[in-house]
Amino acid sequence: MGKTLFDKIWSAHVVQSVPDGPDVLYIDRLYCHEVTTPQAFDAIRDKGCGVLRPDKVFAMPDHNTPSNCQDSIEDPVGRKQVETLESNCREFGIKCFGMGTPDNGIIHVVGPEKGLSLPGMTIMCGDSHTSTHGALGAVAMGIGTSQVAQILASECILQFKPKTMRINIEGKLGKGVTAKDVALYIMAQMTTSGATGYAVEYAGQVVREMSMEGRLTLSNLSIEMGSRAGLIAPDETTFSWLRGREYAPKGADWDRAVAVWRNLRTDDDARFDREVTFYADDIAPRITYGTNPGAGIAIDGTVPVYEGLSDAEREQLKVQLDYMQFKPGQKLEGTPVDWCFLGACTNGRIEDFRAFASVVQGQHKAPGVTAWLVPGSWAVRRQIIEECIDKILEEAGFELRLPSCSACLAMNPDKVPAGKLCISTSNRNFVGRQGPGSRTVLASPLTVAASAITGVITDPRKLL
């Protein structure tokens, strides 16, 4: 029997299998940011360990980084976390892309764009959205602080092998439908626990025809349905996107690498533990109505009603709608928005800014709407300026901010005030995720752009 893509990469990295226990898995790349790593460095220091292979580890602050001014961080806790990360990296000889430097940004944006994340790798980070890097054909998973310490000390980790699932998305996406909409649709169908215990491979015509940046968005959201990883087999799209990037192989090494990467695909006779198929014709631009990413509807649809639900389901829906100030059966299209956010490791890439600009060009931001447009890296910001997208945004009444996780989570100054409604390209709409008492609806860059122009939740197809 053939092997899945996940099985091939996993088995190639198994150092030892523990009977009735986890595998000892070799890790090719460890990413560190300022929030989850201080205790990991303390742990190896307490054990008298060094960092076994510092050249395999790359670090950067992103969660606490301000998006308006990066001369300093006002919050003493955030400032201490960033300073501690940089100090630990100096002590152990780890490359750290410091705040405000040309190489800095969100770690899940910078890793792929620099070619640090490559097909066939095992990639770990103390952050749930590490699944992003699986779009390049890698096994990439978020881990806990103690596991970060394991990798720092040994370049290995103890991991139980997940089951495998393939999600096929067939057909051709319609007008105004993006990778973000595909991910939100899958989460609504699968629920936020539907892939728990699985590593997911995305396949089908829609995935094959996706841009690399669309694939990164899709893989990024794998964790939101419980999956440990979200892989996409590398192909010509992958190779073309990676060619010439700073840390990617060069010359003859590139040719040899691509020859190996071409074999990173699921064998025709391989079997998955579960397989699911969805169709592009069923996917419209999406919007969330609740307080988890799976609580979503088509943008021209209506919020679910209580009829036909169990008592537990009815109570769960009521709690979400009470917080969001929505009603059963309500159409969200036309609902006024207070804040608009473009950015995060989900949609902070150049393609997302091009999409946003394509909608707002020649238009103007609605009065009363606050908009934060935050690139995922300094490289993305430079490209925005090189392509004069910043001029389009400025003429439409928008300000281009500095690279940061920004309003994806309330760990920096970009907090949405209590009670205000933010339409956001980020990955989570949890209670208070963007600020205590804030309300979040998730959407694509096109939908956020259309809503920023009209001042209400708007179907982007009406403006394209």
Q: Of 240, 261, 282, which closes a domain?
A: 261
Q: Of 261, 278, 293, which closes a domain?
A: 261
Q: Is 170 left (phi over 0), alpha (psi -120 to 50) or beta?
A: beta
Number of domains in the chain: 2
Residues 6+ apart with CB under 8 A from 298: 284, 285, 286, 287
Range of the domain at 408: 333-462
Instruction: Provide the 3-class DSSP secondary structure of residue 459.
Output: coil
On whether residue 293 sits in a domain, the answer given is: no
Shared domain check, 199 and 100: yes
- Residue 181's pLDDT is 98
Give tens-digit pLDDT for 194-250.
999 999 999 999 999 999 999 999 999 999 999 999 999 999 999 999 999 999 999
Shared domain check, 341 and 256: no
On whether residue 230 sits in a domain, the answer given is: yes
Give tens-digit pLDDT for 46-69.
999 999 999 999 999 999 999 999
On whether residue 313 sits in a domain, the answer given is: no
**122-125 and 139-142 beta bridge pairing:** parallel
Instruction: Provide the 3-class DSSP secondary structure of residue 125.
Output: strand
- Residue 37's pLDDT is 94
Q: What beta strand segments (E) does 69-114 contain? A: 95-96
Shared domain check, 134 and 22: yes
On whether residue 410 sits in a domain, the answer given is: yes
Shared domain check, 349 and 257: no
- Residue 1's pLDDT is 87
Amino acid residing at 293: P
Percent of the chain with pLDDT over 90: 99
Count CB atoms within 10 A of the CB of residue 317. Answer: 19
> Hey, what are 363's tokens?
């238009």
pLDDT surpassing 90 at residue 154: yes
Looking at residue 53, which CATH number applies to its domain?
A: 3.30.499.10
On whether residue 424 sits in a domain, the answer given is: yes
The neighbouring-strand residues paired with 442 are: 424
On whether residue 437 sits in a domain, the answer given is: yes
Q: What number is the average pLDDT over the span 339-348? A: 98
Give tens-digit pLDDT for 31-47.
999 999 999 999 999 99
Q: What number is the average pLDDT over the span 4-11? A: 98
Q: What are phi and psi of 160, to 5 degrees?
A: -80, 135
Q: Give me the residue label for tokens 């190489």.
A: 103
Amino acid residing at 329: G
Give tens-digit pLDDT for 362-413.
999 999 999 999 999 999 999 999 999 999 999 999 999 999 999 999 999 9
Q: Of 222, 239, 261, which closes a domain?
A: 261
The neighbouring-strand residues paired with 257 are: none
Shared domain check, 182 and 38: yes
Shared domain check, 337 and 214: no
212-220 helix and 179-190 helix, angle to the nearest 10 degrees: 30
On whether residue 63 sits in a domain, the answer given is: yes
- Residue 251's pLDDT is 98
What is the reported pTM?
0.98
On whether residue 392 sits in a domain, the answer given is: yes
Q: What mean pLDDT value characterizes the chain?
A: 97
